[in-house]
Amino acid sequence: MEREDSAIERVGSTFKDKPSDDEKVELERQRALYEQQLKYMEKLISLNSTRGCEVVNVVVEGTEHLRDDFIARHIQPLIQAKNLQSLMLGVNAMNDTLRSSGAVKDLAVCINGMSSNRGVLVVQPKLKLIPINKFMAKTGTNVGNGEGDGYMTFQWRNIFGGGENFIVDATTGTRTRSSYLVNYNAPFNESLTWRWDTSAYATSRNIDWSSHEQVLKGLKTKISQDVNGVTQEWSLQSVIRSVKPYSLAPSKTILAHAGDDLKVSLGYDINIDTRDDKVLPTTGWKLGLQNEIAGLSKFSTSHFLKQTFEANWATNSNSNILNCSLRGGWLYTQDDYSHVMDRFYLGGPNDVRSFFYNGLGARDQGDSLGGDAFISGGVSVFTRFPFIRESSGLKLHSFVNFGSLVPWDHNEPLLKLLNDLAHPSVGCGFGVVFKHPVARLELNFVLPLVAHEHDALRKGFQYGIGLQFM
């Protein structure tokens, strides 16, 4: 994930309004009323699913900071309902789109039956909207993926009464020397599900596994959709990338990449996620595909096609959990060699355990060079910790994982590339896992089983903190 994307995701996941005690009581009352109405309507629909209904009007409270046209678009599914079944579908659709719009903190729906005329039920839906706070400021720290940082974020929300947000973020950390982000996002073309997002960013990071500093200055525009567990994203990015070796004796490969580079790229990502939890799932599956093409502009100095895929599956039996994962990708460049920032990197406690962070693949004077194609996967088993209640976030963990990262010489036959990928490095181990509401912590005893000449091996204890693990 790009640094600017992770900052926006962090804002979305951590900027949660904390309601007062009175608001909590009111929210619980409204939720209980909504659930009661929902159960009543579900029972009613099961008996009269095709019975006609007429919505005379929709009463909405709490619209002081929302535009009329914004509210009108969201309640349209209610107004268009012609029978009880479509009415309930409209309630669910309105509930989902309003909550995901970022314009309201919470809402409750009450449906009042007014009369019955010629077999048609006349109803009046009533909405109570609880607005979000307009301005939020937050400071905090992040630890994960071999890095720790501190951040300060300011967010202005629902600026024009239609779910528009403006974000300013600054970050500094162990590897990220500085990162600045300015972001504006809003519904795209008045859509209920698509959002438009534009970011300007500047970052400076120390890449200690390759003895250089990376400086990025760019613009990124994207439109995205998240509906029923299916997320899509189209993006256009223009970024100036600088590689600055800082070692007294940098490798020849890193020196060859030193200087500035302009990348103009178009991307499309799609993910389908049915898992019950993203940190430590117990059931469900996920499929993801990421595509990027660079060099569409005559000013772009990078020209490549890049694609990655991801598959995850989780299941459980009693108190035991099984997680399986598989990832892969390829990078085809039209230049003499691929850029060091476009390549794939493998190794570390969050993907291929038993190896150091980005420790797999070719090296030059100790610098990790990455690769143009990779395949990796793993199987993890989580069991109940002895003498600890089953609902505890503490689990025993055992795993086997593998990974193969290789360069792609276009002068060689494709069969050679596939043969190189078919000989992965393998590691195994066991340990403990703690599932925190915002992250997952692992402490494992690891042992490499199969390794290649340039791999950086890790034997003994290895810990990892983050949201995504192999």
Residues (pLDDT < 70) of the chain are 1-27, 30-31, 34, 37-38, 40-49, 114-118, 143-146
For the domain made up of 208-466, the CATH class stated in words is mainly beta
Model pLDDT for residues 56-113, shown as the tens digit of each residue:
888 888 888 888 888 888 888 888 888 877 888 888 888 888 888 888 888 888 877 7
d(CA 356, CA 442): 15
H or E segment at 94?
A: helix 84-100
Q: If we measure between CA atoms, which residue out of 269, 223, 213, 265 comes closest to residue 244? A: 213
CATH topology of domain 18-131: Ubiquitin-like (UB roll) (3.10.20)
| Residue 137: strand, helix, or coil | strand
Q: Evaluate the CA torsion angle 444, 364, 253, 405 in order and state its sign.
A: negative
H or E segment at 184?
A: strand 176-187
Q: Where are the domains of the chain?
A: 18-131, 208-466
Do 18-131 and 208-466 fold alike per CATH?
Answer: no
Terminal-residue alpha carbon distance, the chain: 15
pLDDT, residue 1, reads: 40
Residues 6+ apart with CB under 8 A from 379: 322, 323, 324, 399, 400, 401
Which phi and psi (to 5°) does residue 190 adopt? Answer: 60, 25
Residue 317: C-alpha distances to residues 323, 382, 392, 431 (Å): 12, 11, 16, 20
Could you identify the residue written with the tokens 């850029």?
339
| Residue 248: strand, helix, or coil | coil
Q: If we measure between CA atoms, which residue out of 269, 264, 184, 263 comes closest to residue 230? A: 269
Model pLDDT for residues 130-182, shown as the tens digit of each residue:
888 889 898 887 766 667 788 899 999 999 998 899 999 999 988 888 999 99
Could you identify the residue written with the tokens 């209920």?
192
Q: Encoding tokens for residue 235?
A: 């993006």
Which phi and psi (to 5°) does residue 86 adopt? Answer: -70, -25
Q: Encoding tokens for residue 328?
A: 């892969």
d(CA 43, CA 60): 25
Pairing mode of beta strands 59-61, 120-131: parallel
Q: If we measure between CA atoms, which residue out of 347, 463, 470 comes closest to residue 404? A: 347
Q: Encoding tokens for residue 226?
A: 């998240």
d(CA 137, CA 263): 33
- Please state at what angle helix 68-79 crosses helix 84-100, rounded to 10 degrees: 150
Pairing mode of beta strands 120-131, 104-117: antiparallel
Residues 6+ apart with CB under 8 A from 153: 7, 10, 11, 15, 136, 137, 138, 139, 167, 168, 169, 170
- Please state at what angle helix 84-100 crosses helix 21-48, rounded to 10 degrees: 150
pLDDT, residue 20, reads: 58
